[in-house]
Structure 1
């Protein structure tokens, strides 16, 4: 009987002890699960914070590129300005993404059963960094707007300068044309030759002086017939073919500046010094005898 009672007591103690062990195991499992969940939350927090930090690093890199491009002091091409606008848009997108991630972190911390002070401080730091970057982006945008205004003003000035340069170029071209025309006019000469009767009948010469038709001098008429003359460039006229028995100049030209080639017949008039020859008159009249 005692043995049976002892067995019952021992069995009861073992059963009670087993229940305690089961409850302890359940508590341990719960603690482990809570720890796992906490670790998972922490890992999630760390992952989000890492992404935020990576975005901040990317923003900093793009900011440096924009500052270098805008501080070069040189006129930017349209492609460069478009790239700056694209870079700033990238910064704004990363900044907006960071804001959303910070909000997500704050919600996760609020809903988390356990308060992790270190994580909360980290979120506050990240939030301040995001706000700081937001202010920097606003400054960059303002600088870009000013840059665009400056470029617009520069383009206006360049257009004005181009217009002024074009106007001056037109004036210069006009002056060049005027000089060329004046040069051509200065170097225009006119010649006519023929027998005395031909020159007289065509209104080129007159006869002056003498007595009873004897000893008269041939002179160029004051109201001479311009159409009878041939126009030439005196810089290019070096000789004039005649092929006549005799030839004499009616107009006045310095001796030594010309000579006749050949005698009976006179083959040509040779101009030895054009500058001297045409100094007295730009008209040359030669009376010939055939």
Structure 2
């Protein structure tokens, strides 16, 4: 009987210990879950706070833009020596703030992409901000037009126009230089030189040397320069003529005029001058 009582007591202790162990394990698991949940909540809070801070900065920017627009509207219809300066300062402020706001909106979108917080309402709010900025762009353009009508030119606009004029002028100058270069190259490509003379004259100028033509240090100044697009006929003033340089025979003819003097007529200038830009003719 004593042994039975001891066994029951031991079993009771085991059951109690088991229950106590399970209870502690459950407490640990609950603690870990709560800790993870707190971390998630804290992360989401931080993300939301960051996004709300950016959102508030954008809203503040829009408020400042509205105030600056109101100041411009008041000044542009008023009088005063500082009128132009005040308008310029406020419009420059508006343009700068709008640029900052667009950068902040892009930052807010990036925060949303990287955030675990997903909300259609926040996306809608961002779209509304973009719409407001677009409306401000239109208002600013309208304001510029009104100021122009009142002959109040903003320095930045004048600077932009001057810059455009400078660019146009630079482009015109560059285009003019390119045209000059092309014309010079074109003229060079269409320039040729010719000479005709007796055998003795050509020898004296070292244009011919025995049977060789244009191979010595000849006198280039003895040649006549022509534009091959224009000069297609060369009068030789001789009843005897022989072409010493190589030119395609199909590109020219040697014909006599009324006085029986030879005239070189070039029918295909491009082909004629393709082999040599120098023409040497021996006459008597």
Larger radius of gyration: 1
Shorter-chain TM-score tier: 0.3 to 0.5
TM-score normalised per structure 1:
0.46
TM-score normalised per structure 2:
0.47
